[in-house]
Structure 1
Amino acid sequence: MRFDRTFTSGPSPITSITCIGRRRRPPWYRNSCRSRPGHLLHLMLDGEYWLTTNGRRYLMQAGDMVYYHDGEDVIWEGTAQKAEFLAFGFFAPAIQPPPLHQRHFRAPEKVRELFLEAEAVAMNETNEFRRTCRLHSSLLHILSLLPIDLEVLDVNSVYAELWWRVEEWIRNTHSYHIHLAELCRRFFTTRSTLHRSCVRATGLSPHKRIRHLRMDAARGFLLYTPMSIGEIAGHLGYGRMHEFSREFSSYFGMAPSFFRQQASP
C-alpha cells in the first residue's frame, strides 16, 4: 500500500462537542422538551421508555439509539423500569442529519464500546489536548459505524462560503434579529442565493439557522455571564423580556431562569 498520497481532504466535519455523559431516569418519568441544538446521539444502556419525536413513537430499549438534530420536540414516557442512557452531543454544520425513518436504530456493539470509552475519557483525561483529540476520534469512529445514511455537505463551495461570511458577521455584531432583506443588502446578494447558501452550508433555512444562533448565544449568556435575563433579552434584540422567555422556553423546553438555576453548581 502506498502512503505518499492524500486519502482525505478538507477539515473534519465536527466543529465542537457539546456534551458527553450518562443520564438516568426513574420509573414512570414523563417529560416534554426539545433536544439540544446541533446533533445529539442517545444510546440506551438499560431499562426502557417510550419516545415520541418527529411524529414517530418508539420503545427505546437497551442497545437502541436515537439521532436528534437541532431542537426537535421530544416526549418521554417512562415505564415501570428505570432508564439509563449515554448522550453525545456535537456541532457539525456540514453533516446532514439522517432521514426521519432512520433516526431510531440498533447500535452495533462496537458503537457501545466507543460510547463507554468516550465517557471514560471525558471523566478521567485531564490533559485538554489529549481529551479533545480522543473525543473527536471516538465520535468520528462512531459516526462511521452507524447503520444510517449521513451526508457531508460541500461546505467549501462558493455558496457555502457566502453563508459562513454572513454568519460570522451575525455573531460578531450580535445581529440576531436582522431581516433577510437587510442581510441581502449588506452582502450584495439576492434572497434566493442567500437561502441556497445557508442550506448548502448548514442544511437549514436562514430563518432556522439564525434562530439557532440566537438561542445558542442566549444559552452562553445565561451560563457564562452575570447578565440579567432582561439584559440578555435586550442584547439579543428582543423588545420585551417575555418575548425572549417565550422563545427560549419553546426552544429548550424550560424558562431561562430555570435553565440558569439548573446549570448552577
Structure 2
Amino acid sequence: MRSPDSNPTMSGAIITEVALVDQVKRRERGAFRSESLPGHLIHVCTAGEVEQRSAGVSQRFGAGDAIWYHENEIVQGKVLQPPWKFFTVNFRAPSLLPPPLDQRVCSVSESTLERMDRLLSVWRDRNDSEVKRHLLVHAILLEVIADLLPAQTQGLRIDTPAQLWWEIVSELRTNLDGSIDLRLLERMSGRSQRSIARACRLATGMPPMKRVKQIRLSYARGLVQLSDLSMTEIAMRIGYPRVQEFSRDYHANYDVTPSADRKAGPDYRDATRDEEASD
C-alpha cells in the first residue's frame, strides 16, 4: 500500500505529437504577418530583435528569449534588428495550457539553448532507430517545456472588449468540425451577437464569421502541410461536407491548391532556402 506521504501517481502523456523541429533565419528588416501552427509553437531566439502583436498582446523579444504561441494565432510585427534567427518546435499537448498571455515571452538559460540545439540534432538524425529517436525528441522537448513554464500557470484575464473574442475562440477550436454561426457563438459566450461582432473587430479587424472561416482554413493549412491526412479527412475536420468546396476556399485564401501546398511545405521553408542559397 502506498504511504499517504508518498508522491501521487502521474498518469497520461503530455505530448501527443511532435510535428516540426527546425532552425529559421530571416535576414530582412521590416514588417511581417503570419499565423502560428495548430497546437503549441515555441520559438527560441538566438539572434535579432522583433516587435509584434499576437493574441491581442504586444510583445518585444530578441536573442536569449523564447516566445510561446498557441493554436493558430495571427501574428503581426516587424524585425527591428536582423538577422532574426530562432529554433522552432511545433507540438500537440491537448492537456497542457500555454503560459498566461503576459508570460508568453521569457528569457532562457544557456542550458535551454543547448537543449534546443540537441533537440534539432536528434530530430534530424536518421541513424538511430525510430523508437530511440521518438523517445529522445520527446524527452528533450519535455525538458524545454519545463524550463519555459512559469511557476504560476493560472489563466490571465485581460479586461478589454477584445478579450471576449479570444475566450470564444479558445472554446470554438474544439468545434471546428461542426456547424458554426452567430447563434452558436451567442450561446457559447452568453453575450449578444452585437457584442461578439464588436469584440471580433477589435481583436482581428474583421467580422466574426469571416474570422471563423480564416481559423478553419488556417488549421487546415497546418494539417495539409504537416500531416498525412487525406484532403477529404481534412475537409471534414474543419466542417466542410464537400472536399471541392474546401479546395475552392483554400485556393481563394492561399492562392494555391491544398495538394500543391502540401508538396511545397510550410512558408518558412522557402525563406530558409533563400537564406541558405545566399550564404
Question: In the alignment, what sits opposite 2:144?
Answer: 142
Question: In the alignment, what sits opposite 1:195?
Answer: none
Question: In the alignment, what sits opposite 1:78?
Answer: 79
How far did residue 66 of structure 1 move?
0.5
Q: Deviations over 1:161-216 (max 9, x none)?
A: xxxxxx8xx9xxxx924579xxxxxxxxxx98xxxxxxxxxxxxxxx9xx978865
Contact kept? 2:72, 2:219, Cα under 8 Å: no
Q: In structure 2, how many angstroms separate the alpha carbons of the residues matched to 1:178 and 1:28?
A: 42
Distance change >3 Å, CA 89–CA 218, structure 1 → 2: closer
Which range moves more in the overlay, 62-71 or 141-150? Answer: 141-150
TM-score (norm 2): 0.61
Distance change >3 Å, CA 110–CA 225, structure 1 → 2: closer
Q: In structure 2, how many angstroms separate the alpha carbons of the residues matched to 1:79 and 1:218?
A: 28
Question: In the alignment, what sits opposite 2:201?
Answer: none
Question: In the alignment, what sits opposite 1:236?
Answer: 240
Stretches of structure 2 that go unaligned for 5 or more consecutive residues are: 155-173, 182-186, 189-210, 270-279
How far did residue 13 of structure 1 move?
1.2
Equivalence map 1:5-154=2 (5 Å): 8-126=9-127, 127-148=129-150, 149-150=152-153
Contact kept? 1:37, 1:212, Cα under 8 Å: no
Distance change >3 Å, CA 114–CA 237, structure 1 → 2: same
The alignment yields a C-alpha RMSD, in angstroms, of: 4.2
Which range moves more in the overlay, 29-38 or 113-122? Answer: 29-38
How far did residue 60 of structure 1 move?
2.0
Distance change >3 Å, CA 243–CA 49, structure 1 → 2: same
Contact kept? 1:26, 1:81, Cα under 8 Å: yes
Q: In structure 2, how many angstroms separate the alpha carbons of the residues matched to 1:90 and 1:96?
A: 13
Contact kept? 1:218, 1:232, Cα under 8 Å: no
Q: In structure 1, how many angstroms separate the alpha carbons of the residues matched to 2:239 and 2:178?
A: 10
Contact kept? 1:176, 1:237, Cα under 8 Å: no
Q: Could you tell me the percent identity over the aligned residues?
A: 21
Contact kept? 1:50, 1:58, Cα under 8 Å: yes
Question: In the alignment, what sits opposite 2:261?
Answer: 259
Equivalence map 1:151-230=2 (5 Å): 176-178=177-179, 216=219, 219-220=222-223, 224=228
How far did residue 260 of structure 1 move?
3.2
Question: In the alignment, what sits opposite 1:245?
Answer: 250
Secondary structure at 1:82 match in 2: strand
Q: In structure 1, how many angstroms separate the alpha carbons of the residues matched to 2:97 and 2:73?
A: 15
Stretches of structure 1 that go unaligned for 5 or more consecutive residues are: 152-166, 181-190, 193-207
Contact kept? 1:28, 1:78, Cα under 8 Å: yes
Contact kept? 1:37, 1:216, Cα under 8 Å: yes
TM-score (norm 1): 0.64
Contact kept? 2:178, 2:239, Cα under 8 Å: no
Distance change >3 Å, CA 242–CA 63, structure 1 → 2: same
- AA paired with 1:244? D
Q: In structure 1, how many angstroms separate the alpha carbons of the residues matched to 2:221 and 2:51?
A: 31
Contact kept? 2:69, 2:104, Cα under 8 Å: yes
Q: In structure 2, how many angstroms separate the alpha carbons of the residues matched to 1:78 and 1:99?
A: 24
Contact kept? 1:27, 1:79, Cα under 8 Å: no
Distance change >3 Å, CA 121–CA 10, structure 1 → 2: same
Q: In structure 1, how many angstroms separate the alpha carbons of the residues matched to 2:95 and 2:81?
A: 40
